[in-house]
Amino acid sequence: MKGDFSRISFDAKQHFSSVLQQQGRVTLDADHNEGAAILLHYMRTLARDLLGPAAGPADHLGLQLKMDAEHKCLTITKGRYYVDGILVEIDRNCDYVNQPYRSKEDIDNDPLAKQFPLSSDHDEFWIYVDVWERHITWIEDDSIREAALDGPDTCTRTQVVWQVRALSQTEIDKKQNQAQSATQNQIKASRRPPKTSQSTASQLVIADAAPSNGENSCNAPLRLLDRISTAHMTAQLDPGQAIKDPCTVAPDALYRGTENQLYRVEIHQGSLDKNGRPTQPTIKWSRDNGSIATRWLGMDGNAVLVTNTRGFSAGAWVELSDDSHDLNGTPGTLVKIVSVASDRLIVELPSQDISLCPSPECHPKVRQWNQAENDDISLDKGAIPIDEASCENWLTLEDGIQVRFSKDGTYRTGDYWLIPARVATGSIAWPRRDDKGETHWLPKPPDGVEHHYAALGRLPAGGMKVEPCLCTITPALSCGKTLVTEQ
Round to whole Å and give the CA distance between 129 and 101: 12
Q: Report whether pLDDT(485) > 90.
A: no
Q: Report whether pLDDT(211) > 50.
A: no
Across residues 30-49, what is the average pLDDT?
96
Across residues 275-285, what is the average pLDDT?
89
Any idea where the domains of the chain sit in the sequence?
Answer: 52-172+451-486, 233-441
pLDDT digits (tens, 9 = 90+) for 127-144: 999 999 999 999 999 999
Lowest mean pLDDT among 173-182, 265-274, 339-348, 434-443: 173-182
The gap from C-alpha 63 to its chain's centroid, in whole angstroms, comes to 23
DSSP string, 156-217: -EEEEEEEEEEEEHHHHHHHHHHHHHHHHHHHHH-SS--SS-HHHHHHHHHHHHS--SSTTT
Q: How confident is the model at residue 316 (pLDDT cuts 50, 70, 90)?
A: very high
Neighbours of 344 (CB within 10 A): 19
Neighbours of 362 (CB within 10 A): 17
Which helix H or strand E contains 45, and what residues bound it? helix 29-51
Round to whole Å and give the CA distance between 147 and 166: 42
pLDDT digits (tens, 9 = 90+) for 66-120: 998 777 889 999 999 999 999 999 999 999 999 999 988 899 989 999 988 888 8
Q: How confident is the model at residue 183 (pLDDT cuts 50, 70, 90)?
A: low
pLDDT of residue 351: 72
pLDDT of residue 34: 96
Q: What is the sign of the dihedral through the CA atoms of 362, 363, 364 and 366? A: negative
The whole model's pTM is what? 0.86
Q: Find out whether 456 and 163 touch, Cβ atoms under 8 Å.
A: no
Q: How confident is the model at residue 200 (pLDDT cuts 50, 70, 90)?
A: very low
Beta strand 54-57 with 79-83 is antiparallel
Which candidate, 347, 342, 362, places its Cα nearest to that of 300? 347
Q: Report whether pLDDT(255) > 70.
A: yes
Q: Any idea what DSSP says for residue 399? A: T
pLDDT of residue 439: 82
Q: Which residues contact 141 (CB under 8 A, 6 or more apart)?
A: 157
Round to whole Å and give the CA distance between 281 and 267: 7
> Crossing angle for the helix pair 198-209 and 169-189, nearest 10 degrees?
150
